[in-house]
Structure 1
Amino acid sequence: MTINKDGEPVLKRLKSPPEPKEVEELESKIRELMPERSVLDILCNVEHWLNWTRHLGPLSGSEPKFKQSAERYIFTTFGYGCNLGPNQTARHSRGVVTSHMISYTNRRHISTPKIEAAIRDIINAFNRFSLPSIWGTGKKAAADGSKFEIYENNLHSEYHIRYGGYGGIAYHHVSDKYIALFTHFITCGVWEAVYILDGLLKNLSDIQPDTLYADTQGQSGPVFAISYLLGIKLMPRIRNWKDLTFLRPSESATYKYIDPLFKGVVNWNLIKTHWLDMMRVVLSIKAGKVMPSTLLRKLGSYSKKNRLYQAFQELGKVVRTMFLLEYISSPKMRTEITAVTNIVEKYHDFLDWVCFGKDGTITENDPIEQEKRFKYLDLVASAVILHNTVDMSLAIQTLMARGEPIHQRYIKALSPFITRHIKRYGDYVVNLQSIPQPLEAAINLPPEIFET
């Protein structure tokens, strides 16, 4: 490891290998075997497999009185999830639904918890497939935010310095299996690290990560401390080295080659004094009495009078020092962090494709409805990811049945964010009479893949 004149580590960049020709050829063959579908076709097929619309219905809890409730819910999910809105969706539905029917269904029959329940069904079904297990373990997730344009005159609209323009942030937790586990809608002025742990705790699906990756905004002293106490391994990318402090365990501790990195000494007495208080806070979080974001907002004041904040900050610096020492000494670890965080960046691009209506601008001013829009978007995106996984699995089975050898490492380089075979425009028709292939036919890949 090299240290510069300011005592900071100089990290060598690893050259990523070019994408092998075999991967491109495999992806091309798979795409050729994937049938062309519309987004509505995908939502209908997923409804056949999972009956996800059963979670939707009147907020009173009574049975829906619509003659064709599933079709109504699919149209509503599509209209709001792709950001077309009720008017444009109705105009392309061949008179099947009106804008009033769609907006009424959204207001009276669908809530954020109901959409989350439907998304959870899709995630659990996706997790049954063997193809995603090649992409990732499910024990890792990445958190990052993506800016969406919204109107200036509402409670959530703020000017974002990094991205420019007014809007809000959709903060996603995406598994290393390429599917989003939870999404928050937050204002641009909020430090993203405040919400980094909420998504894992609110995620009730079968995919339960214990390692969380993020960019530099996803870390601070208290975040490292609370993650450590909750048993979550925090793995952020590091950019602003000058702002971070390496702590020695004692005044007498010296290190032959990296001693210039250390600027302070751990205050073990402060941690010991407030240890029981910190554990009470963590137990409250685990019991669901308080969310980490609530606590981190309180601890984000940097108050010198708040001894609990100082204790969390001190413990966080200890944990972060150990992480940073591993970070600068392990090229493999840095490569892994970049690879997993790139997954959430790809997911942002995929969402931009799905949210094609109104140039991606959220036209709703109500914060509750804004949050619901992003839940709709995640629902549509999750359905597309599941259906792509089904189609890709069937295509791989077909190729192997033809006798074509397929190596597992080439499949690992693929992702379910394929969109070339999906139609977004034209007349929107719900056809639940078209029965798809059984879901079980695509769950397991041929065992020969795992032997290579």
Structure 2
Amino acid sequence: MVDFDATPEGEPVLGALLSLPELMGRKKVGPAEIDTGLLTGSWRRLVLSAPHLEPGTVDWKAYTFCVLEQLHRMLRSKQVFARNSSKWGDPRAKLLTGEAWQQARPTVLASLNLPGEAGAHLAARAALLDGTYREVAARVPDNAQIVFDDDGRLHFAALEPEPEPASLLNLRAAVNAMLPRVDLPEALLEVMSWTGADQAFTSVTGGEARLKDLHVTIGGLLVAHGCNVGYTPVMGGADALKYSRLSHVDQTYLRLATYRAANAALIEHQASIPLAQAWGGGLVASVDGMRFVVPVPSVYARPNPKYFGRRGGATWLNMINDQAAGLGGKVVAGTPRDSLYVLDVLYDRDGGRRPEMIVTDTASYSDIVFGLLTLAGFAYAPQLADLPDQKMWRIDRTADYGAFQDAARGRVDLARIERHWEDILRIIGSIHTGAVRAYDVIRMLSRDGRPTPLGDAIAHYGRIAKTLHILRLADEPGYRRQIKVQANLQEGRHALARKIFHGRSGQLYQRYQDGMEDQIGALGLVLNAMVLFTTRYMDAAVTRLRADGFDVRDEDVARLSPFVRHHINVLGRYSFQLPDLPGGLRPLRDKHAADDE
């Protein structure tokens, strides 16, 4: 028996649900015995006016389905919820309240640099928006990157691809030729020897004794799961690669927590390499989804014809920083908008520095998400599709913003934000402290696609940041290019992930979410290990080339990609013999050598 409860909005539906047993099986049910307020759309005709009904009666069967439809809608928006349930429970019950909120409040405000009173803060945001409008509008006559159509809507000129000078092409060719050729298992074992990542795999029983050659077994399992090929291709004569040993270690040592701990070691090592530091400081990150068809029956896979055809699928929403390190991710059903989960991914990193700027695609955008990310201290920089359809917002109705006058047709209501400021702080504080998932909060802030009053206040706050983002896109081509570069970095990572996850046609054969997260955790770890292997050897190659007098320019080094894959074999030949490396690294190949291996 499920113990349901409801918010005031959900109480009528819950009441109707509880009254259904009294109606079922009866020959006659009158209108006074049902809640006619729930009869929306065609349900009113089906329940009250069906041709077969006697005067003064209703169709209780149709009414039952109407109530169940309303119940499903209310469960999804958490207006009806199950007590003591993690998935279907009430997210409001997890929000910080009373004494708990008062104790956490000073720390939250200090860490997020938010004021307790909204007045001065909102006035400063209004002044920033007004000043930015005026500054950007003044530069419009000299700005060839933007145009306004007859309706005053803003359009961007396409970004021209950055030219690739001969010095970059020569450097890229030389570095790629110098990378040692290696099988994937050997690369994994070598990365483990550098980082000690294999030490993160501890027994679920808590035992401290380490099995002999445990790192070899772990390497075999990472190949089996990360390449989606199963045990058979990695099994060998060595005891560490026999079926019984693989199965035991898989069940005892490999789980989401140990994947994450191992990944933290890889992220830290990646950040220490000079070449990775030339790519970025680790403060810019992007979040995007990689889709997998799930061809087996699973309640955790959802249909999405755009990505999965007629079958169901799941999405790996993952985050990568500008040093090419995957910071973590989350497996979600294939259909929801990514925006519901972006904050949860950001707050649940495996390791690395907390990013300051977040790049996403359009699917991860909404005004509420803009507001929450801004409140959480992130500079949100989504790629906005169909920019002419994006409304720009102003606070001062009477201000003259020149060329933006017609585009700035929306008005931000500061009074609405100020009225809800304490609840806004409590919402973001509850997310920041981990008391509640951002996914649940965002669902709670919207009902049937429409924001609640509190959600609308957060959306108004987000519209200030959204408009500042659009103005910066219009005014700074370098900002647009930075966003594009980070988005391309994520696409490169996903392309490499597809190359690795090649078995079973790249489809995910896991029925349960835990199994999906474990296998994708293995893929993420193998992916980061390959990137780390490539980055370190690229760094060594750049150092060698500089010592040899090769034309190595800093601007070219910054454009090298760690997602090349010609030098690592992931198909069918799995050697787990790590050679003796007295110098710590394999010898680099000659930059003029033909790629005949």
TM-score by length of 1: 0.91
2:475 equivalent in structure 1: 329
- Aligned: 1:255 with 2:401: yes
Compute the displacement of 1:38 (Å): 0.8
Partners of 2:281 and 2:323 within 8 A in 1: yes
Residue 303 of structure 2 corresponds to 159
Q: Pick from 330, 337, 342 the counterpart of residue 184 of structure 1.
A: 330
8 Å contact 1:93–1:428 — kept in the other structure?
Answer: no
Give the match for residue 312 of structure 1: 458
Q: CA deviation at 1:65?
A: 6.0
| SS of structure 1 residue aligned to 2:406 | helix
In the TM superposition, what is the alpha-carbon distance from 1:320 to its structure 2 partner? 1.2
Identity of aligned residues (%): 23
1:233-248 matches, cutoff 5 A: 233-241=379-387, 243-248=389-394
Structure 1 395/175 Cα, relative in aligned 2: closer, same or farther at 3 Å?
same
Q: How many residues align structurally? A: 440
Structure 1's 133 and 181: CA in aligned 2 closer, same or farther, altered over 3 A?
A: same
- Identify unmatched segments of 5+ residues in structure 1: 443-452
SS in 2 for 1:85: coil
Question: Structure 1 residue 152: deviation in Å?
Answer: 4.4
- Greater relative contact order (Cα < 8 A, sep 6+): 1
Q: CA deviation at 1:113?
A: 1.0
Call closer, same or farther: CA 1:144–1:300 in 2, change over 3 Å: farther
Of 309, 325, 350, 2:496 maps to: 350
Closer/same/farther in 2, CA of residues 212 and 366 from structure 1, 3 Å limit: same
Q: Structure 1: how far apart are the matches of 2:329 and 2:303? A: 21
Change (3 A) 1:303 1:350: closer
Quick check: 1:140 aligned with 2:284?
yes
Partner SS state of residue 288, structure 2: strand
Residues 437 and 45 of structure 1: CA distance in aligned 2, closer, same or farther (over 3 Å): farther
Q: Rate the CA distance shift 1:46–1:249 in 2: closer, same or farther, 3 A.
A: same
Instruction: Determine the structure 2 residue equivalent to 1:220.
Output: 366
For 2:535 and 2:584, how far apart are their aligned partners in 1? 13
Q: Which residue of 2 aligns with 1:445?
A: none
Counterpart secondary structure, 2:409 = strand
Q: Distance in 1 between matches of 2:277 and 2:398?
A: 48
Q: Which residue of 2 aligns with 1:368?
A: 514
2:282 is the counterpart of 1:125: no
Larger mean CA deviation between 248-257 and 337-346 belongs to 248-257
Is contact 2:213–2:240 with CA below 8 Å preserved after alignment? no
* Deviations, residues 131-187 of structure 1 (Å, cap 9, x unaligned): 111112211011111111212411222222332423211111111111211111111
Aligned residue for 2:105?
none
Q: From the superposition, tell whether residues 120 and 10 of structure 1 become closer, same or farther in structure 2 (CA, over 3 Å).
A: same
- Equivalent residue for 1:51? 196
Is 2:224 the partner of 1:61?
no
Q: 1:233-277: CA deviations, max 9, x gaps?
A: 000111133653322213323323221112332221110010011
Deviates most, 316-325 or 429-438 = 429-438
Counterpart AA for 2:543: Q
Q: State the Cα distance separating 1:129 from its structure 2 match.
A: 1.0
Which of 75, 79, 85 does residue 230 from structure 2 map onto?
A: 85
Q: How far, CA to CA, are the matches of 1:108 and 1:202 in structure 2?
A: 24
Q: Return closer, same or farther for 1:153/1:122 CA change in 2, 3 Å cut-off.
A: same
Give the residue type in structure 1 aligned to 2:544: T
Counterpart in the other structure of 2:536? 390
SS of residue in 1 equivalent to 2:305:
coil
SS in 2 for 1:289: coil
Corresponding residue of 2:412: 266
- Would the alpha carbon gap of residues 17 and 8 (structure 1) be closer, same or farther in structure 2, given more than 3 Å must change? same
Is 2:260–2:350's contact at 8 Å kept on the other side of the alignment? no
Alpha-carbon offset, residue 219 of structure 1:
1.3
TM-superposed deviation, 1:221: 0.9
8 Å contact kept, 1:150–1:361: yes
Q: Tell me the alpha carbon deviations over residues 324-382 of structure 1, each in whole angstroms, 9 at most, x when there is no partner.
A: 22222332222221111111011110111121222211112121010111110111111
**Structure whose CA Rg is larger:** 2
Alpha-carbon separation, structure 2, partners of 1:430 and 1:18:
42
State the Cα distance separating 1:415 from its structure 2 match. Answer: 1.1
Q: 1:179 to 1:65 in 2, by over 3 A?
A: closer
Change (3 A) 1:76 1:305: closer
- The CA deviation string for residues 69-117 of structure 1, in whole angstroms up to 9 with x for no partner, is 2221111112111111123332x67785234432332222211011000
CA gap 1:40/1:294 in 2 versus in 1, 3 angstroms: same
Seen in structure 2, the aligned counterparts of structure 1 residues 422 and 7 have a Cα distance that, compared at 3 Å, is same
1: CA distance, partners of 2:449 / 2:366: 15
Q: CA deviation at 1:426?
A: 4.1
Question: How far apart, in 2, do the equivalents of 1:160 and 1:189 lie?
Answer: 6
- Please report how far the alpha carbon of residue 66 of structure 1 lies from its aligned counterpart in structure 2 after TM superposition: 3.2
Provide the rounded CA distance (Å) in 2 between the counterparts of 1:271 and 1:238.
24
Map 1:162-173 to 2 at 5 A: 162-165=306-309, 166-173=312-319
Q: CA deviation at 1:24?
A: 2.0
The one-letter amino acid paired with 2:175 is: I
Match 1:205 to one of 325, 341, 351? 351
Q: Among 7, 28, 35, which residue is 2:180 paired with?
A: 35
Change (3 A) 1:355 1:304: closer
Change beyond 3 A, Cα 1:352–1:272: same
Aligned match of 2:249 in 97, 105, 115?
A: 105
Write the distance in 2 (CA, Å) between the matches of 1:364 and 1:211.
Answer: 34
